[in-house]
Chains A and B, each alone.
Chain A
Amino acid sequence: MNQTFLQFLKRYDFSFLGSMLAIFLVGILNLYSSTHADTHGLNELYKSQIGWFLFSAMVAIAVSFIHPKTFERFAYLGYFITLFLVLLVLLMGKVGMGAQRWLVIGPIRMQPSEFMKIGLVLAMARYFTKVYPEKQLGFKDLIIPGLLMGIPTVMVVIQPDLGTGLLLLFIFCMMIFYKRLKWKTIATLGVIGMVSGVLMYNFGLREYQKKRIHTFIDPYEDAKGSGYNAIQSEIAIGSGRLFGKGFKNSSQASLNYLPENHTDFVFAIFNEEHGFFGSVFLVILYLVFFMRLIWLASSVQRFFDSVMIIGIMSIFFWHSFINMAMVSGLLPIVGIPLPLMSYGGSSLLTFGIGVGMATSVSNTRNFFN
């Protein structure tokens, strides 16, 4: 028994859980640093963040014991359940923070659009595995996957949660790219995307969303001062210089120059306190994690697992990239958290589930090879 347990431990792939822990440790220190001076109760936030992390880590371990075949079998079911929850939020119209994103069941507040991302990944992996798995994708092959992505995307955009809608779209793009979308189709889609983007902007966006884009294009020209966040964020990052101001020494953030410094703008605080070298270290941590996922995707035996891993990777990649890019002024400010760094339970839990699924796939490969 002991022997087999040791054997098991040897084969269990701890690399994903390890990465999760490493980034989280950086994140929790940073969260503590950016909120410790708050007098309105935010200084206690790190405690609940630790609680959520422990819970998410347990979920990750539990999920890692589920065989990947089970994910495949229940892929569509998972997709429709999450889709149903997103619809429920929309219908119930529970308004929190100006947008209907939360599903409240007793004391539990859920953000189903978080889980929708995983639901979408599962459904697409399953579809691609069963239908012409070897075929290069053309336009016609995109109709059904497009619907799988399009329906939830429209729902979350109506909520209105443009950020999550775009994420679903990007995850979809990366997955069809992996599923060998023809280069010719990619080019055509690019053109269509540009045109519809312009149309969307003119007819589909709310005023505050447009404002954010304006602010991005020229933050210094915004008369009402909503370019303020973008500028303060840049000042925070820039003032960190090469080595940073040191732990707990962010003046920009602590003096409330920067709003929401515990959610969307944590990366700016990190940069201010730890400078360019700190940022390089953090970015490499994320990159290692993503690279290992890509490596895993091309060394498994089952095609479903491969596509699913790429999907999970793209969820976290897009979150990280968009958040870092917006905080440093490369993209307009949309409310997208930085995985493992930003405060928030639903986001941590999604990450935990993703890590669990990756570990499960990796373990299966180890145990049966």
Chain B
Amino acid sequence: MFGEEELVKIHKERATQISYILTAAFGLILARLWYLQVYKGETLHNYSIQNRLRKEVVWAPRGLIYSRDDQLLVDNIPRFDAILTPQFLIDKEETLGKLAGILGTDSASIDAIMKKNSNQARYRPIIIKKNISFEELAQIETQNADLPGVSVDTFISREYRDKEVGAHLLGYISEISQTQLPKLRERDKTEYRLGDFIGQFGIEEQLDNYLRGENGHEFVEVDARGRRKRYINTDNLFKGIEDEKPLSGMNVKLTIDRDMQLAAYKALEGRVGGVIAIDVNSGEVLSMVSRPSFDPSQFSRGLSPEYWRSLVGNKFHPLRDRNIQEHFSPGSTFKAFSAIAAFEQGEIDEHTEVSCSGSFRLGRKVYHCWKRGGHGNVSLVRALRESCNIYFQKIANRMDIDVIANYAKSFGLGSRTGISLPREVSGLIPTKEWKKKRFGQEWQAGETLSVSIGQSYVLTSTIQLATSFAAIANGGKIYRPYVVKDIFDSEGELVKTFTPEVLSKVEIKNPKTLKFVREGLYQVMNHPKGTAFMRRGQGIMMAGKTGTSQVRSASADKIYQRCTDMEYESRHHGVYVGFAPYDNPKVAAAVIVEHGCSGSAVATPVVEAVITEYMKKYQPEMYLKNLEKDKVIRDNWVRSLRAEKEKPVEAEETDE
């Protein structure tokens, strides 16, 4: 046996051999360095000095976005920056003077820009003027020889044709930030780099992988005066190095109609809110607009701090999408679902009458109808038409909240519709279990009364309202709303196409249920006593429901206070949702006008404008026929007014 020390000793030979191996290995490295730095040093040094070959990224053109009727919505437009590289200046005074002349400024201000960037290396170009005109571009290019150090940087700007219109839907692109980089790399398994542009909102974000394309690279030679030229492969050293063309992004065709977008945007002029229109028989989103809005083009080339401040500082939050990212109490529009629940459960039929005296006491609390004197004896159709609170509250008082909730949920309220856009909110339909979990309290009977008229805990978004009313119109089919129709590659080949998807079908046992609810909704618009008769539009034959969403619950003395006299933040939201035409539904639309006070006067006209645009463009024959029907309704109304020999009363514009 060996002792420990002997063991070490008998291995000493190998240790010595290892030290020889190391010496040889590093000797080899040094020999190689000698070869490169001394033997070939001069040659390689010249390469690094004179032949500034650089590998530069060639940005892939991002895919374009079209409307359903093939109108271009989002485009890429080349823009130019004038840049200056201090290292290549020969006569600074002269060059700055000439450049100032071209750019319409003076040498001193260019010098100031240079001073501001004087801490960076002299070979790094400085941007003197962003987004120069074609004229300025042409002058710089033609006087290139007299302007050593000056050149033009080209970049592609993402331009949104209608600027603010539908900005929330289209979204925007911007540079990946330092904090986003690791997360996005993880998420997409893609080697993003700082400086890469990526969709950050809306369609641009959702379809980023299709739109983005793949960047290429090219080799660019920069000569001793800082001018770039495409590298031409003549040099033996760089034999075999080749450019790689970028792969264009894919083009996208939306389900959105541009004219409806413009009409919707115009209808929301001066309002804070959102409107969405959906094809009743497919779930295609035809229009989706939110106001106030922002100009997405501003994001694609670094936001100016002023513009960013104006967006963030705006108390109406222009960056927020009112259609899918915001929820609110649906107000009386919810009565349609209370009605369906009661009818299906057999609590009511079309003849059931309930007396409305203007108020209704339950326990210690008194519930009021919006009409001070009450409606008298009302049936379902009339209750919907005139939006009688007491009718629905008395019926609801006989029912279980979970039953009402189930019907509302089966129409898709209180959960995400599944539209493929980021950050959709879910809304809320309260149940006994929910309340127990959320507050640890039992459900109160009075709360059922509030829920039945769409107040208290109920929260929905416009997209949910439009989807659910589309289901009332089409017999109960819940479609997944979608905004993208087709995706094409840059050669125009169809890559992917999206088709309607029925998520579920509401089970309606009683065939009369939908018939009488629809009749009620029809009369809201087309019966002289209907809450929105005065805003019924022409040629669209709409059925719908107005609503006001209480922002703050009103104390008893304020119930009848005029909404417009209240402070802005306390005013009700105006809500409207409807579908058209009544007898052959094609389109459903919902709108919220925040703090708009009235459903009928403020919200209804927005939907009316969007649907009118749809009918004229897509159903011109129906539109003409409807105009005639409208004429009959109007004539009858005028005749009845004359018969009563009364002055026409001012239409009532609140419905609660």
Contacts and interface: CB of A to CB of B under 8 A. Distances in A.
Contacts of B14: 177-180
A15 interface: no
A298 B29 contact: no
Interface string B16-34: 1111001101101110111
A38 to B, nearest CB: 10
A58 interface: no
Nearest to B28: A330
A47 interface: no
A306 B30 CA distance: 29
A251 B42 CA distance: 16
A40 B38 contact: no
Given A40-B195, A96-B186, A279 B8 contact: no
A228 B55 contact: yes
A179 B241 contact: no
B244 A301 contact: no
B4 interface: yes
B312 to A, nearest CB: 24
Most buried by A among B12, B15, B47, B189: B15
A162 to B, nearest CB: 18
A283 interface: yes
B217 interface: yes
A283 B30 contact: yes
A306 B186 contact: no
Nearest to A38: B194
B34 A276 contact: yes
A271 B26 CA distance: 15
B39 to A, nearest CB: 9
B239 interface: yes
B138 interface: no
A241 B37 contact: yes
A240 B33 CA distance: 10
Contacts of B4: 301-303
B567 interface: no
Interface in A202-243: 220-225, 227-228, 231, 234-242
A41 B11 contact: no
B37 A242 contact: yes
Interface stretch (A1-9, A152-160, A289-297): A289-297
Interface in A268-307: 271-272, 275-276, 279-280, 283, 286-287, 290-291, 294, 297-303, 306
A97 B185 contact: yes
A239 B243 CA distance: 25
Interface size class of chain B, counting residues whose CB lies under 8 Å from the partner chain: 35 or more
Contacts of B195: 40
A186 to B, nearest CB: 11
A39 interface: yes
Nearest to A325: B29
A300 B8 contact: yes
Interface stretch (B117-125, B291-299, B493-501, B503-511): B117-125
B178 A220 contact: no
Contacts of A291: 19, 22
B26 A298 contact: no
B19 A294 contact: yes
A329 B49 contact: no
Contacts of A276: 33-34, 37-38, 41
Interface in B215-254: 217, 219, 236-244
B642 to A, nearest CB: 78
Interface size class of chain A, counting residues whose CB lies under 8 Å from the partner chain: 35 or more
Interface in B46-92: 47-49, 52-55
A310 B18 contact: yes
B512 interface: no
B7 interface: yes
A294 B12 CA distance: 9
A237 B36 contact: yes
A257 interface: yes
Mostly, the B contact residues are helix
A298 B240 contact: no
Interface string A133-174: 110000000000000000000000000000000000000001
A98 interface: yes
A324 interface: yes
A26 interface: no
B556 interface: no
Interface in B249-275: none
A96 B185 contact: yes
Contact of B40 (A133, A174, A238, A303): A238
Given A238-B43, A330-B28, A134 B10 contact: yes
Most buried by A among B6, B48, B217: B48
A293 B330 CA distance: 78
B119 to A, nearest CB: 10
A213 B15 CA distance: 32
B38 A37 contact: no
A240 B43 CA distance: 11
Nearest to A304: B4
Contact of B2 (A133, A231, A287): A133
A279 B32 contact: no
B191 interface: yes
B7 A294 contact: no
Contacts of A321: 25-26, 29
Interface string A27-59: 000000000010111000000000000000000
A238 B515 CA distance: 87
B130 interface: no
A257 B18 contact: no
A160 B486 CA distance: 38
B23 A133 contact: no
Contact of B120 (A39, A96, A299): A39
B41 A241 contact: yes
B32 A329 contact: yes
Contact of B217 (A178, A222, A225, A330): A225
Contacts of B8: 297-303, 306
A291 B20 CA distance: 10
A80 interface: no
Contact of A134 (B2, B36, B240, B241): B2
A191 interface: no
Contacts of A254: 121, 123
A81 interface: no
B88 to A, nearest CB: 13
Contact of B41 (A133, A239, A298, A303): A239
28 contacts: A41-B178, A95-B186, A96-B185, A96-B186, A97-B185, A179-B14, A224-B242, A225-B242, A227-B240, A231-B238, A235-B48, A238-B47, A239-B45, A241-B41, A242-B38, A251-B123, A252-B48, A255-B52, A294-B15, A297-B8, A298-B16, A302-B8, A306-B8, A310-B18, A321-B29, A325-B28, A328-B32, A330-B32
Given A236-B48, A298-B8, A298-B15, 19 more contacts: A97-B185, A98-B191, A134-B2, A177-B14, A220-B238, A225-B240, A231-B238, A237-B33, A238-B36, A239-B48, A242-B38, A252-B48, A254-B121, A283-B26, A294-B19, A294-B22, A299-B8, A302-B8, A330-B28
Interface of B: 1-2, 4-12, 14-19, 22-23, 25-26, 28-30, 32-34, 36-38, 40-45, 47-49, 52-55, 120-121, 123-124, 178, 185-186, 189, 191, 194-195, 217, 219, 236-244
